[in-house]
């Protein structure tokens, strides 16, 4: 876990070097708190502290860590497993900001985040040297009846996707992008390390520590870490450690990829199934929405059913082979909206509950949370996403249903 044994002075020097082109904002001229007199009883000179601790190393935690670090804050990401191996690793990677699937209150954030994607990816690719397969061929949406809110096809369907059989359904076109989440996560992790975000994996956060009504650090299964700001980015596990104020729960998604299928260009979506092509050949086919607690087993019959649904749209998939099948846990909330903001405990923030759209929403989440934490102001209206919107009883009932 080498990060915590680093010499704080060398970290400070490196940080200054890294921040040379970023211009540290005057509101966040963070310094490592090594002065015993400046904080609670357990601070002491021999303990390294951070400005901000992020719980969870998925796409949300890593994007936020990079964004905060760019503004000069020292950041520690604590990950119980391996960074980027949970929901973010399981995602298909559609950047679906035009669909009807999410609540209207989320539309402004979704659109803003989709607009930010090219720049977000450009920076991460640049800092990591990893290409993340951002594609912009668009999405073909198949549906029963006309959908006036969606765009007309730019060319006949038989030209756009010769392998697709729309079986009497209407088709419309959405100008959406897609990305390969696994490449994105690998790149974000490398970019975070490049920026000297400290990352500790393999120990679970068991509690957010509170002193005088304000966050002062976290307890893990191995040790204690200190910071005046803690951000819960723990995805489907965000409600599993005290204080229990960030109620999310898992919704399982099973998904597969095939190789040897036809060369699809567009994402294809129906209400029952979606197909997401990757530039190097595989097609990802997903995904189920299941209330199954924290179970991540992959069931062959479910995978076969998804493949059959896909084959009914693209008959030549009958010749394709299953390359991989997997499952992940989406972080759901009681009203299907993410939880973004400061909790009732000062300095304890939540950035989680992104349900089916966490890959899409990563850039805007990183931006608004950075503004909120460092500037105490925000360029977007975050009131619909406030952690305070759930009563204690609502939160308890929601968590108990897992």
Ligand X SMILES: Cc1cc2nc3c(=O)[nH]c(=O)nc-3n(C[C@H](O)[C@H](O)[C@H](O)COP(=O)(O)OP(=O)(O)OC[C@H]3O[C@@H](n4cnc5c(N)ncnc54)[C@H](O)[C@@H]3O)c2cc1C
Minimum distance of ligand X from residue 90's CB (angstroms): 4
Closer residue to ligand X (CB): 74 or 180: 180
Which residues sit at the interface with ligand X, rule CB under 6 A?
55-61, 78-81, 86-88, 90-94, 204-205, 233-237, 241, 253, 255, 286-287, 328, 330-331, 352, 354-360
Compare residues 12 and 336 and give the one whose CB is closer to ligand X: 336
Nearer to ligand X, 15 or 62 (CB): 62
Do you find a cis peptide bond into 243, omega within 30 degrees of 0? yes
Please answer whether residues 326 and 255 qualify as being in contact, where contact means their C-beta atoms are separated by less than 8 angstroms: yes
Q: Given the complex with ligand X, which of 15 and 241 has the nearer CB atom?
A: 241
Q: Please spell the DSSP secondary structure of 264-323, one letter per residue.
A: --SEEE-SS-EEEE-TTS-EEEE---B--TT--PPPHHHHHHHHHHHHHHSGGGGG-EEE
Residue 232 CB, nearest distance to ligand X (Å)? 9
Element housing 18 (H / E): helix 8-18
What interhelical angle do 181-194 and 59-70 show, nearest 10? 30
What residues contact residue 53 under an 8 Å CB cut-off, 6+ apart? 75, 76, 77, 78, 217, 218, 225, 227, 229, 230, 231
CB of 304 to ligand X, least distance (A): 17
Shortest Å distance, C-beta 288 to ligand X: 8
Could you give phi then psi for residue 370, rounded to 5 degrees? -65, -45
- Report the nearest approach of ligand X to the CB of residue 256 (Å): 10
Is the CB of 72 or the CB of 94 nearer to ligand X?
A: 94
When the beta carbons of 15 and 333 are compared against ligand X, the nearer one is: 333
CB of 114 to ligand X, least distance (A): 10
Cβ closest to ligand X, residue 200 vs residue 311: 200
- Beta strands 75-79 and 49-55: pairing type? parallel
Report residue 208: phi and psi, to 5°: -90, 125
Rounded Cα–Cα distance for residues 73 and 348 (Å): 16
* Residue that the structure tokens 């299928």 belong to: 261
Which C-beta is closer to ligand X: that of 72 or that of 349?
349
CB 254 to ligand X: min, Å? 7
Helices 59-70 and 358-370, axial angle in degrees (round to 10)? 30
Residue 105 to residue 314: CA distance in whole angstroms: 34
Q: How far is the CB of 86 from ligand X (least distance, A)?
A: 3
């Amino acid at each position: 876990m080498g990060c915590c044994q680093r010499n704080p002075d060398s970290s400070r020097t490196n940080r200054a070097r890294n921040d040379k082109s970023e211009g540290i904002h005057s509101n966040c001229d963070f310094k490592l708190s090594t002065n015993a007199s400046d904080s609670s009883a357990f601070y002491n000179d021999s303990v390294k502290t951070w400005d901000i601790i992020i719980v969870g190393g998925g796409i949300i935690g890593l994007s936020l860590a990079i964004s905060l670090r760019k503004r000069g804050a020292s950041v520690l990401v604590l990950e119980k497993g391996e960074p980027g191996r949970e929901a973010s690793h399981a995602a298909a990677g559609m950047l679906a900001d035009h669909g009807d699937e999410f609540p209207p209150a989320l539309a402004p954030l979704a659109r803003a985040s989709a607009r930010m994607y090219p720049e977000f990816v450009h920076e991460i690719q640049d800092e990591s040297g990893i290409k993340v397969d951002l594609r912009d061929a668009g999405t073909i949406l198949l549906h029963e009846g006309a959908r006036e809110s969606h765009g007309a096809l730019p060319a006949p369907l038989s030209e756009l996707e010769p392998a697709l059989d729309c079986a009497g359904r209407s088709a419309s076109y959405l100008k959406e992008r897609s990305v390969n989440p696994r490449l994105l996560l690998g790149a974000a992790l490398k970019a975070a390390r490049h920026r000297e975000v400290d990352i500790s994996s393999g120990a679970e956060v068991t509690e957010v520590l509170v002193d005088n009504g304000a966050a002062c650090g976290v307890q893990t299964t191995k040790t204690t870490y200190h910071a005046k700001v803690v951000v819960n980015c723990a995805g489907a596990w965000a409600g599993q450690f005290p204080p229990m104020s960030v109620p999310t729960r898992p919704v399982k998604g099973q998904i597969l990829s095939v190789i040897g299928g036809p060369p699809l260009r567009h994402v294809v979506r129906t209400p029952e199934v979606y197909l997401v092509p990757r530039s190097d050949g595989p097609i990802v086919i997903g995904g189920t929405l299941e209330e199954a607690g924290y179970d991540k087993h992959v069931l062959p019959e479910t995978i076969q059913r998804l493949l059959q649904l896909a084959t009914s749209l693209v008959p030549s998939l009958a010749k394709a082979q299953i390359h991989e099948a997997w499952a992940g846990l989406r972080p759901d909330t009681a009203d299907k909206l993410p939880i973004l903001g400061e909790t009732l405990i000062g300095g304890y923030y939540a950035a989680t509950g992104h349900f089916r759209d966490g890959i899409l929403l990563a850039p805007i989440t990183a931006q608004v949370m950075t503004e909120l934490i460092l500037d105490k102001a925000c360029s977007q209206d975050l009131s619909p996403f406030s952690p305070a919107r759930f009563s204690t009883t609502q939160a308890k009932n929601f968590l108990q249903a897992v």
